[in-house]
Amino acid sequence: MSNRMLYAGLAIISAVVFMAIFAPFIAPYDPTKSTGDVLQPPSAEHIMGTDNLGRDIFSRVVYGARVVLIVVFSASLLSMLVGVPLGLISGYYGGKLDRVLSMIMDSLYAFPSLILAIAIAAVLGPSVFNAMVAIAVVYIPTYFRMIRGQTLSIKTRLFVEAAKVSGASNARILRKYIFPNVATTVIVVFSLSVADAIITEAGLSFLGFIVTAPTPDWGFDLSSGKPYLPAGYWWMITFPGLMVMLLSLGFALVGEALSEKYLAREER
């Protein structure tokens, strides 16, 4: 079961990454230029139809994968680079530092991710970089909490004490004895938080915090298509929306599969 989930997820992710890298070869039209035909339903020429400015939706969907992937990947890497060391340090040393950090992280964690991201993005102003920072901040507590929790339990394990008796410094214990034992968790949290961040990114973009016209981006295209939905032009939002769901699902599958395969086993 978990193997099938893993492969399905990996297949989805690779397909989207492939699409983003080779967009110029895959997209039949220029995603920012009108093809002349406005609001055409899906057909052989335009398999996902065209939008209100006559742009090919399929081409926009293909190019749109680029922004999401860049923003979400770099944001998640950033949260990882901040959240993991903080979690390790907080869990290992404990004390006042741990209490302060935990309180900050818990209060950040208490906000729904999109609302927090909007608040930060609103303060920083709209731009791809700022959106990335906003999303990164949102997911730091996820890493922090998981890694801190695991560090708390690993640091009492006998092999850590054995390392202490050997004379290992705290930094060495963290690096050689604790971190390798939380590394699998980091990968799982990465997949799951990317899955969530994709939705958050779409939300931010929908509200115009990331890109401006005519850059193709799924969330942004959702908002441009929304006014046309009541009039029956369903294809403008359906395809970008489906892509958001699909990519998010891909990462969620990988994350769940990995956690089932590796984390559950290590608990024993």
Q: Which is nearer to another protein, 33 or 172 (CB)?
A: 172
Establish if 163 lies at the interface with another protein (CB under 8 A): yes
3-class secondary structure per residue, 225-257: HHHHCCCCCCHHHHHHHHHHHHHHHHHHHHHHH
CB atoms within 10 A of CB 11: 12
Q: Which of 218, 100, 192 is nearest to 148 (CA)?
A: 100
Q: Which two tokens stand for residue 48?
A: 């996902």
Q: Which is nearer to another protein, 20 or 154 (CB)?
A: 154
Please state, in angstroms and as integers, the Cα–Cα distance from residue 89 to each residue in 57, 96, 102, 148, 186, following that order.
47, 12, 11, 8, 15
Dist. CA 161–CA 164, nearest whole Å: 5
Establish if 171 lies at the interface with another protein (CB under 8 A): no
Establish if 175 lies at the interface with another protein (CB under 8 A): no
HSE (side-chain half, CA atoms, 13 Å) at 41:
5
In whole angstroms, the minimum distance from the beta carbon of 83 to another protein comes to 21
- DSSP letter at 50? B
Establish if 262 lies at the interface with another protein (CB under 8 A): no
Establish if 3 lies at the interface with another protein (CB under 8 A): no
Q: What's the full length of the chain, in residues?
A: 268
Q: Which is nearer to another protein, 66 or 164 (CB)?
A: 164
Q: Which is nearer to another protein, 28 or 180 (CB)?
A: 180
Establish if 180 lies at the interface with another protein (CB under 8 A): yes
Q: Which two tokens stand for residue 92?
A: 């290992």
In whole angstroms, the minimum distance from the beta carbon of 10 to another protein comes to 24
**Spatial CB neighbours of 215, under 8 Å, sequence gap ≥ 6:** 32, 67
Establish if 168 lies at the interface with another protein (CB under 8 A): yes
Q: Which is nearer to another protein, 4 or 175 (CB)?
A: 175
Span interacting with another protein, options 22-30, 126-134, 165-173, 204-212, rule CB under 8 A:
165-173
Omega before residue 28 within 30° of 0, cis: no
- DSSP letter at 44? S
Span interacting with another protein, options 57-65, 70-78, 110-118, 170-178, rule CB under 8 A:
170-178
Span interacting with another protein, options 1-9, 47-55, 99-107, 166-174, rule CB under 8 A:
166-174
Q: Which is nearer to another protein, 106 or 266 (CB)?
A: 266
Span interacting with another protein, options 120-128, 140-148, 171-179, 209-217, rule CB under 8 A:
171-179
Establish if 152 lies at the interface with another protein (CB under 8 A): no
Binding site for another protein (CB under 8 A): 157-159, 161-169, 172, 176-177, 180-181, 183
